[in-house]
């Protein structure tokens, strides 16, 4: 019965205690490693969004972001930008794609792990 909504729109009663603990420990994304191994995702890239987030999908399409593999983490996440600001999220995703490098990916991965 949980609604299919972005995290920032989900009602607080829809998030279980286990879900909160997994998020706090930053291990809620670990199942997506399977998708990385299958070549469907990358470790770093634009975070996938729901198809119902039409404004974000359209902004990403206009900026060419949809051509990239989605990532478990990304530049927007370490900058604290969530999908509630579709314009800024899409622009940050496009910035990542323009400046992507192994060094930037390592910085994003470390920033994700050590972010407070």
Domain positions in the chain are: 13-114
* Percent of the chain scoring above 70 in pLDDT: 88
Average predicted confidence (pLDDT) for the chain = 87
pLDDT digits (tens, 9 = 90+) for 100-115: 999 999 999 999 888 7
Which residues have CB under 8 Å from 90's CB, separation 6+?
56, 59, 60, 62, 63, 65
Please give the model's pTM, rounded to 2 decimal places: 0.78
* Whether residue 5 has pLDDT greater than 70: no
Q: d(Cα 112, Cα 52) in Å, to the nearest integer?
A: 26
Dump pLDDT digits (tens) for 60-98: 999 999 999 999 999 999 999 988 899 999 999 999 999
Q: pLDDT confidence of 42, banded at 50, 70, 90?
A: very high
């Amino acid at each position: 019965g949980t609604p299919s909504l972005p995290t920032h729109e989900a009602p607080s009663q829809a998030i279980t205690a286990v879900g909160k603990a997994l998020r706090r420990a930053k291990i809620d994304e670990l199942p997506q490693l399977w998708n990385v191994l299958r070549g469907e995702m990358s470790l770093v890239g634009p975070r996938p969004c729901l198809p119902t987030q039409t404004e974000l999908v359209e902004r990403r399409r206009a900026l060419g972001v949809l051509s990239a593999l989605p990532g478990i983490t990304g530049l927007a996440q370490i900058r604290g930008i969530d999908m509630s600001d579709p314009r800024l999220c899409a622009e940050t995703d496009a910035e990542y794609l323009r400046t992507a490098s192994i060094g930037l990916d390592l910085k994003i991965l470390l920033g994700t792990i050590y972010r407070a």
